[in-house]
């Protein structure tokens, strides 16, 4: 927690933590302690799936996403190591569906990339 405090004192707006379920031994309680400390300082917390597990399959990604959302994580990141250039679309979509549901996930896919053409 000392490192988290140091980052916050230095002005960090976002604290990055491994997603619960991606690193052996990292517990929900540890992530929740970081969340409480960061939120008390008006900072956000981003959990990351970045240990090549982004290619593990949609069910795994859904489970991790829901678990970290339940803990209160503000932002969830999925890495690109699965295929060396990007995560499988199915896994990114599964994360979006688990966190936001069909309405918002579908709208995000349907939105044009450039809004002002």
Tell me whether residue 16 is in a domain: yes
CATH number for the domain that contains residue 64: 3.20.20.70
Tell me whether residue 115 is in a domain: no
Tell me whether residue 69 is in a domain: yes
Long-range contacts of 53-57 (CB under 8 A, 24+ apart): 53/22, 54/78, 54/79, 54/80, 54/81, 54/82, 54/87, 54/88, 54/91, 55/81, 55/82, 55/83, 55/87, 55/88, 55/91, 56/91, 57/91
For residue 117, pLDDT over 60 is answered with no
Full-prediction pTM beyond 0.85? no
For residue 12, pLDDT over 80 is answered with yes
In tens, the pLDDT along 48-89 reads 987 777 777 889 889 999 999 999 999 998 877 656 667 777
The boundaries of the domain holding residue 89 are: 2-110
Tell me whether residue 62 is in a domain: yes
- Structurally, how many domains does the chain consist of? 1
Tell me whether residue 116 is in a domain: no
Tell me whether residue 82 is in a domain: yes
């Amino acid at each position: 927690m000392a490192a988290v405090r140091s980052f916050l004192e230095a002005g960090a707006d976002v604290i990055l933590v491994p997603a619960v379920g991606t690193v052996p031994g990292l517990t929900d309680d540890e992530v929740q302690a970081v969340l409480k400390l960061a939120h008390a300082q008006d900072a956000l917390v981003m959990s990351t799936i970045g240990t090549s597990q982004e290619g593990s399959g949609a069910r795994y990604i859904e489970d991790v996403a829901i678990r970290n959302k339940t803990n209160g994580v503000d932002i969830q990141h999925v890495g690109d190591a699965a295929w060396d250039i990007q995560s499988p679309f199915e896994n990114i979509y599964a994360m979006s569906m688990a966190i936001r549901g069909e309405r918002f996930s579908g709208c995000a896919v349907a939105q044009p990339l450039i809004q002002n053409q």
